[in-house]
């Protein structure tokens, strides 16, 4: 069923009633979902979104720092002796 097999084909192959297979499948999927939630991983898309937001926050902070540094450099009077190192 996880690989796309039909319930009827599995039922015949395993000699198990199709409604029982469906019940097992439903319980297994519910357990998997519960297990993923309990381990703290949550929704993978939610984790990816949080990582992206953190990166955007860091880049925003760096951009603000660079802008402030540029503003300070532009306000400094020109000193020709400092330009030759």
Could you write out the three-class secondary structure of 12-48? HHHCCCHHHHHHHHHHHHHHHHHHHHHCCCCCHHHHH
- Kindly report, residue by residue over 11-45, the tens digit of the pLDDT: 888 888 889 989 988 999 898 888 777 766 567 78
Helix (H, G, I), strand (E, B) or coil at 84: coil
Domain ranges of the chain: 1-42, 43-85
- pTM of the prediction? 0.42
- The number of C-alpha atoms within 13 Å of 40 and in the hemisphere containing its C-beta is 0
């Amino acid at each position: 069923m996880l690989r796309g097999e039909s319930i009827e084909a599995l039922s015949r192959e395993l000699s198990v009633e199709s409604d029982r297979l469906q019940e097992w499948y439903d319980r297994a999927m519910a357990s998997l979902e519960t297990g993923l939630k309990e381990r703290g991983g949550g929704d993978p898309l939610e984790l990816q979104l949080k990582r992206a937001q953190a990166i955007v926050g860091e880049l925003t902070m760096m951009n603000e720092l660079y802008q402030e540094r540029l503003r300070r450099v532009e306000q400094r009077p020109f000193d020709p002796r400092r330009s030759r190192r």
